[in-house]
Amino acid sequence: MTDMWAAPAASGPVRATVAVPGSKSITNRALVLAALADGPSTLRDPLRSRDTELMAGALRALGTGITDGADGSWHVVPGPLRGPAAVDCGLAGTVMRFVPPVAALAAGDVDFDGDPRARERPLGTVLDAVRSLGADITGSALPFTVRGTGRVAGGTVTIDASASSQFVSGLLLSGACFEAGVHVVHEGSPVPSLPHIDMTVSMLRTAGVRVDDHGPRSWRVHPGPVAGVDTAVEPDLSNATPFLAAAAATSGTVTVPGWPSSTTQAGDAFRGILTEFGAQVRLTGDGLTVRGAEALRPVDVDLHDVGELAPTAAALAALARGRSRLRGIAHLRGHETDRLAALQHELGAMGAQVEQTADGLLIDGGELTPSTWHSYADHRMATAGAILGLAVPGVLVEDIGTTAKTIPDFPGMWSAMLEAA
């Protein structure tokens, strides 16, 4: 049986300062760019979690030198990309979507596989796109094989990226190494999580790559060298949100140091969401401080660009008296799990009234009762259960260890936060 974690209940308002590890999104993009660069790179304060270790392992398998610095940094020395190689994607969307275009530049076969749930995730869009740019790929979902020839012609490709912004980012990251670069055109419903594409574009430009992004449906990366960089990885703002939500859920105060004054991270949007719930939010040179109100207010929020924040927002909505509406997140049905169905089932088991809409959830919160909260091998579902456990004594979270996907020791950090109070 999967281990059950007794989510600790808060005995009073949480009052703590919580230092959050580096951004997964930045770390994995930086690793890919460093592997494609024309010189060495250094990543300072990178996230060390399952997803980033899988990315590092994938790039090492393709011939990239990645070594540990004494200060916890990663030193990356690009090498000739080659196969044969085997890539374990685990359940990391960035690995299964960012690495195939890199593998197409390798000389030799590269086999991809991952966790059982990963075999259900949509990959046809990115694999078909890489094929149309000149690569030879066998399969349309995990497991699949990229038969690299050491070159990719590149050019223009039209895709439907309405299921994931990672389809776009994965093509852009390698595009400068394609002979004709890459011009990605999106056709379909609006691309979700656009801040993640903005992050990709910003990091490409920092590495000296010329990128044209004149609208939300077209991105062009020009061919040319990728420069090695020495970069400091920001704290992961999305991983910070459960700790900030703890302040809102308990009428407490939590500070996350190092919160950037300007960032492309989607998690920064949580500041506005917390304000909607009634919390006070203050950003200073010391970090971001959230002070919870006496009672949570129900919200009506569009999370289309920040769908990763939906489980955290849903947990707070279930604790607020009244009806909340979370909109713009139909694409979450294709994430680590069907997050909308999972949230409806788990919140319903605790007594909340939850209805799925075409693009989100209606949540009638208030009085909740403890239950077993299932994580579905989804790190953000697991942290949502921890938030609810603060206010509902007796919640058991199944497979809390899945949080190691992006947070190396979430249970330890959660306990330390409560002990600080």
Catalytic residue among 53, 179, 234, 308: 308
How far is the CA of 102 from the CAs of 128, 180, 233, 324, in angstroms?
A: 15, 15, 22, 42
Whether residue 60 is annotated as binding a ligand: the answer is no
Whether residue 93 is annotated as binding a ligand: the answer is yes
Question: Contact at 8 Å (CB) between 173 and 201?
Answer: no
Length of the chain: 421
Q: How many C-beta atoms surround the C-beta of residue 140 within 10 A?
A: 13
Whether residue 73 is annotated as binding a ligand: the answer is no
| Distance (Å, whole) CA 216 – CA 174 | 20
Q: CB under 8 Å to 175, separation ≥6 — which residues?
A: 101, 154, 181, 182, 184, 209, 221, 223
Whether residue 339 is annotated as binding a ligand: the answer is yes
Whether residue 335 is annotated as binding a ligand: the answer is yes
Whether residue 164 is annotated as binding a ligand: the answer is yes
Catalytic residue flag (residue 308)? yes
3-class SS at 162?
coil
Q: CB under 8 Å to 285, separation ≥6 — which residues?
A: none
Whether residue 385 is annotated as binding a ligand: the answer is no
Whether residue 25 is annotated as binding a ligand: the answer is yes
Burial zone of 190 (CB within 10 Å; 0-12 exposed, 13-18 middle, 19+ buried): middle
For the chain, the C-alpha Rg in angstroms (whole number) is 21
| Distance (Å, whole) CA 67 – CA 52 | 13
How far is the CA of 364 from the CAs of 119, 223, 324, in angstroms?
A: 34, 51, 6
**Which tokens is 181 given?**
């670069």
Whether residue 165 is annotated as binding a ligand: the answer is yes
Sign for the CA dihedral angle at 233, 239, 243, 247 comes to positive
| Distance (Å, whole) CA 389 – CA 385 | 6
What would the DSSP string read from start to end of 271-308?
A: HHHHHHTT-EEEEETTEEEEE--SSPPP-EEE-GGGGG
| Distance (Å, whole) CA 17 – CA 292 | 14
Whether residue 405 is annotated as binding a ligand: the answer is yes
Binding-site annotation: residue ranges for 3-phosphoshikimate: 24-25, 29, 164-166, 193, 308, 335
Binding-site annotation: residue ranges for phosphoenolpyruvate: 24, 93, 121, 166, 339, 380, 405
Residues with catalytic roles: 308
Binding-site annotation: residue ranges: 24-25, 29, 93, 121, 164-166, 193, 308, 335, 339, 380, 405
